[in-house]
Amino acid sequence: MLNPTKVALLQEELKTAKNPLFLYDSDADGLCSFLLLYRIHREGKGIRVTNTSKIDEQFVLKVQEINPDKIFVLDIPQIDQQFVDAVKCSIFWIDHHLPQDIKKVHYFNPRIKNPEAYVPTTRMAYQVSQNPDDLWIAAAGCLADWNMPDLIELFIEKYPSLLPVKCDLATALYKNPVGKLVKLFFFLQKGPSTEVRKSIKILSKIKSPFEIFNQETAPGKFLYKCFEKVDAKYEEVLAQAKKKITKSKIVLFTYNSNQWSFTANIANELSAINPKKVIIIAREKSGEMKCSIRAQFPIAGALEKALIGIEGYGGGHPNACGAVIKEGDWARFLENFKRELKP
């Protein structure tokens, strides 16, 4: 969590920004973080960072086009020093991944002081926002990042129809209507970039989750139809993945790239309902296997060792990792990983 001094600093910097640029990760935590901060003053521009976990020199041109007075980087694991040196404005980086060594950046990461801290970027953004009308966005962003936030009781009090009682994460996400709200922030980011930008623009003006789910307004109805289309496809792919559950400790499901990417969502859901198994969901794209790996016990060490000598890369949190492996090395990687998992 941010201390009061850091909260006040970020509030002041947002208040005095004339043309802020928000660079945010394209998952639910990233989107919710952006919405919370943008909705404070509704100034500036947001850009979803897709297909990379790093802000590097390829973003310099975009910054020069927009010419912001301040840049807020949200839920992005890495920033290259070359990018920082090339842009001529203040950078405020709010993140919760492994801390990086960086100069000339205002860096807010709870893991610098406490390596074991797990605070979604959304939770820190809500400390800055403090708008009770946006509690639904704050709760959804935290839950989406597999975190039961300290504000959950306030959420239950305000939205009992979405979550009537406090429970564990898996029950909240997969047996309560709040799970649908969490999926919304993922699924509105699927599809052509023009459609996604339109959905996010509309979402930035939505006042309540019921405006969408009860289709109370034209914008709410539009977003619900977008969500339903993606959700139907998700349920179809999820059903295929469930067929791969056997007595084996590892559940492996692969699918091709002409479908939307659901790897993280499917991996999370299958892991929640199969706590003793390791879940590997992989999507085949451009000669690579892009996968999400989940378990209810540490797997990051096994992944790190399995990648030795393999053309690919990966990493993440102890129980939740991602990896990208060249197709030619995929079988060997799986052999390595299975071997490293054995006690």
pLDDT tens per residue across span 237-283:
999 999 999 999 999 999 986 768 899 999 999 999 999 999 999 99
Nearest by Cα to 338 from 272, 248, 214 = 248
The DSSP 8-state label assigned to residue 134 in this structure reads: G
Q: Is the pLDDT confidence value at 343 over 90?
A: no
Please give the average per-residue pLDDT across 130-159, as a whole number.
Answer: 97
Neighbour-count burial for 275-305, b at 16+ CB within 10 Å, e otherwise:
eebbbbbbbbeeebbbbbbbbeeebbebbee
Q: Range(s) for CATH 3.90.1640.30 in the chain? A: 4-138
Residue 113, judged by CB atoms within 10 A of its CB (0-12, 13-18, 19+), counts as exposed
* pLDDT on residue 267: 96
Please give the average per-residue pLDDT across 138-164, as a whole number.
Answer: 97
Mean of pLDDT over the chain: 95
Bridge partner list, 48 = 24
Please tell me the CATH code under which domain 244-341 is placed. 3.10.310.40
Q: Range(s) for CATH 3.10.310.40 in the chain? A: 244-341
Nearest by Cα to 139 from 29, 34, 213, 4 = 29
Q: Which amino acid is at 286?
A: S
Higher pLDDT, 132 or 258: 132
Q: Are 188 and 194 in contact (CB under 8 A)?
A: no
Instruction: Sheet with 312-316: list strands edge to edge.
Output: 250-256, 278-285, 288-294, 320-326, 312-316
Name the band, by pLDDT with cuts 50, 70 and 90, for residue 318: confident
Render pLDDT for 35-69 as a digit per residue (tens, 0 to 9).
999 999 999 999 999 988 899 999 999 999 999 99
Please give the average per-residue pLDDT across 125-134, as a whole number.
Answer: 98
* pLDDT on residue 317: 79
**Fold for the domain defined by 4-138:** inorganic pyrophosphatase (n-terminal core) (3.90.1640)
pTM score, two decimals?
0.93
- How far apart (Å, rounded) are the C-alpha atoms in residues 224 and 249? 37
Residues sharing a CB contact under 8 Å with residue 207, sequence separation 6 or more, in sequence order? 133
Q: Are 241 and 233 in contact (CB under 8 A)?
A: no
Of 101-105, 223-227, 297-301, 313-317, minimum mean pLDDT range: 313-317
Q: Is the pLDDT confidence value at 169 over 90?
A: yes
Render pLDDT for 171-211 as a digit per residue (tens, 0 to 9).
999 999 999 999 999 999 998 999 999 999 999 999 999 99
Name the band, by pLDDT with cuts 50, 70 and 90, for residue 119: very high
- How far apart (Å, rounded) are the C-alpha atoms in residues 204 and 32? 10
